[in-house]
Amino acid sequence: MMITDLPNELFQHILLECIRVRGWKRAMRLRLVNKLFSTQIMDVIFTSKCLDDMFVDYKSERDLQRSWPPFTAAYLQHRVATENANGLPALLSLCRIANHLSEQDGPQPGPSKDSDRNLSAICDAVAKRGAIHLAFSKAYILTTLGYNIALYGAALVTGHIALAKSLDDSGKYEWYHNSLFGPHDKLVFEIGLSKTLDLHDSCVLSHIAYAARLGDINLVRSLYEDNLPFTDLIDSSFISLDSINSWFDTPSVEVFDYVMGIIDKIDCLRGCFPRQSLLQRVLHTCAYYGWVQMATKLLDMGASVEGYFKGRKRKKVRMGEGQHGKPLFCALRMGRAEVAALLIERGASVDHVLAPPISKGRTDLVKMLLDDGADPNKGSPHPLVTAVCAEHPRIFEMLLERGAEFSQKVKAECVKRAKSDGFELDLGFWESRATDFLVRYMQTSRNQYGVLDGMDD
């Protein structure tokens, strides 16, 4: 009897246990087994609500970018659409907001999909914002004011501009920060409505930062010149300096040069942003977001490819203290291949940086590092251990091809990690892959190069 012949309820229970024990990433690989697994595994994930607790543990956008499922927004949309009246308060509020927006659209001919469209846009925005943990929190309950603030944010992301203007006129909701959608004025810039909605002049420092992040030189110039003399808006507080520091976080070389010119013109700002620290911080930002042109500009200005940066904003820059805070490590962790290639070309060390691309399964990045001289035996843990724990056999073999040693010490570490991660039964597979590779390698060496001739004598 095959597992696919089991009763559907029992089969789904087995799949659910696989998800709980092995995690969603490994369970998703069951989709490669056959078509039935491909459909059933997604049905189980969505209907069992098994990811709710996992999402509650996410605390930031960065956590999501590192490990969120690609179907997070779809999962949230399904949960909102199917939540019962006594369910999680945040999910019910999102459903109510989607229905409110659909009512604004008015009656539509034929079957109306407005509610689904609005809900999809809302869930996409919440997932992108990194607020997914709030949606599944039992403690996140919206008050009347909180609901109106959230409705304003939802109106922005769904394109209901008339409703957003109406709400803003009655409650000035643009001033508020909504946990589900983020700062409303930032949202206005991100969705391209900065010229449509009236923005409060008192927030112009932040508005210039948002425009700079978009790389829009015309908008940056307009915001700055429309608020001259600018010194009236600047004081010596940390918040103001921090906002101005964010103006440099831009993918546009033209915007960066323009901001540098502004700083040189204003006496009270001159000297507030030490050149080397500034270049190093922005280079780290470029590595994070993949801004190649801007990274090239910074390196030409003297930013160090080995400069260590810890933290964001105006944190202290320390040079040469490990790999984790260096631009190359950041670029590899975020999968920014072009920036990584640029940094390596400019002399960045490729030692001890194999772990991020191995963990992500980025064969192209691993190959690039090995081609540029990365030692396949350097790293903590050993790169082979990382490949085993991440379950990437192609990368595992690639490391062996480039000289990685599957020693007793490495085997012991694999066993230790496998037991802690719950897949010790797979160790035989990895050891056989290593053995098979070594046998093939020796046969190739004998046949092509004769380096093993005479060893049997």
Residue 433: per-residue pLDDT: 56
The one-digit pLDDT tens for each residue of the chain (457 residues) are: 566 677 878 878 888 888 887 777 777 777 766 677 777 888 888 888 888 888 887 655 454 445 678 888 999 999 999 999 899 999 999 999 999 998 887 655 444 555 688 999 999 999 888 788 888 988 888 888 889 889 988 998 898 888 888 887 776 666 667 788 888 778 888 877 766 666 665 578 888 898 999 999 999 998 888 876 665 556 544 456 777 889 999 999 999 999 999 888 887 777 788 888 899 999 999 999 999 999 999 999 999 998 876 554 434 444 334 556 789 999 999 999 999 999 999 999 998 899 999 988 899 999 999 999 999 998 888 998 888 878 788 898 899 889 888 888 888 887 777 666 655 545 555 566 555 554 454 444 444 433 333 333 3
d(CA 243, CA 224): 13
| Token pair of 267 as six digits | 């006496």
Domain 275-349 sits in CATH at: 1.25.40.20
Q: Are 272 and 241 in contact (CB under 8 A)?
A: yes
Positions of E strands within 205-252? none
Distance between CA 159 and CA 193 in Å, rounded?
A: 9
- What's the pLDDT at 23? 76
In this predicted structure, what is the pLDDT of residue 457? Answer: 33
Are 332 and 340 contacting, i.e. CB atoms less than 8 angstroms apart? Answer: yes
What are the residue ranges of helices labelled H in 3-113? 8-22, 24-28, 35-48, 52-56, 61-67, 72-82, 89-105
Nearest-CA neighbor of 307 among 321, 296, 295, 297?
Answer: 321
Predicted TM-score (pTM) of the model is 0.79
Measured distance CA(303)–CA(275) in Å, rounded: 9
Residue spans per domain, the chain: 51-106+113-195, 200-273, 275-349, 376-457
CA distance to 59, 321, 363, 420, per residue, from 356 (Å): 21, 18, 11, 20
User: Are 390 and 361 spatial neighbours (Cβ–Cβ below 8 Å)?
Assistant: yes
Sorted by sequence, the CB contacts under 8 Å of residue 10 that are 6+ apart come out as none
Q: How far is CA 405 from the centre of its chain?
A: 32
pLDDT of residue 454: 35
**What's residue 286's pLDDT?**
96
What pLDDT does residue 3 have?
Answer: 65
With beta carbons less than 8 A apart as the criterion, state whether 312 and 331 touch: no
Q: What is the pLDDT of residue 110?
A: 46
Q: Residue 13, class by beta-carbon neighbours within 10 Å (0-12 exposed, 13-18 middle, 19+ buried)?
A: middle
